[in-house]
Amino acid sequence: MTQTVRWLTDEEQHAWRNFVRMQEKLGARLGRSLQSDSNLSSADFAVLVHLTDVPEGRLRYQDLSRALEWEKSRMSHHIARMVSRGMVAREECPEDGRGAFVVITDAGRAAIEAAAPRHVETVRALFLDHITPEELRTLARISERVVAHLEDGRS
């Protein structure tokens, strides 16, 4: 099977590499900031954000894993660490003996409520303060389109 590779043009390669570099640098800086300011890892914060986004503060393991794009083993190990720190609890699913829920605890809620204001300020300082409102709207449209493509199963 021979397939022609559609190599990136110089302009595409420049844009792609800078996009990846920006994500890496932002992720690393945000992660260090979260850790030093609130003793939460980026992964902890992501789990807590997803749990606080739902009214009951609970999600099935598989739904949370899918939302975070994590493999089953990473999910199990990370949630076990968060359970041991009192941030979340694991609850069995009565309708499905093999399923379980991840539930935010009062300690987890307090941790994210304490971390969020500083995290938002860091996001502003590292990213939002350096782009225009029009660039932000363009970024939102691009991100929505790419995410929709990734979520519809075509890729």
Query: Three-class SS of residue 18?
Result: helix
Residue 126 in domain: yes
Number of structural domains in the chain: 1
CATH code where residue 118 lies? 1.10.10.10
| Sequence-ordered list of residues with C-beta below 8 angstroms from that of 126, at least 6 positions apart, any chain | 26, 29, 30
Confidence of residue 85 (pLDDT cuts 50, 70, 90): very high
Reference 142, options 46, 15, 30; nearest CA is 15
Average pLDDT (89-97) is: 82
Average pLDDT (85-91) is: 96
Residue 136 in domain: yes
State yes or no: pLDDT of 154 exceeds 90. Answer: no
Residue 67 in domain: yes
Residue 108 in domain: yes
Residue 23 in domain: no
pTM of the model: 0.89
Quote the domain boundaries for residue 139: 28-151
Residue 10 in domain: no
User: What strand order describes the sheet that includes 88-92?
Assistant: 58-60, 100-104, 88-92
Reference 102, options 67, 134, 133; nearest CA is 67
User: pLDDT tens digits for 22-81?
Assistant: 999 999 999 999 999 999 999 999 999 999 999 899 999 999 999 999 999 999 999 999
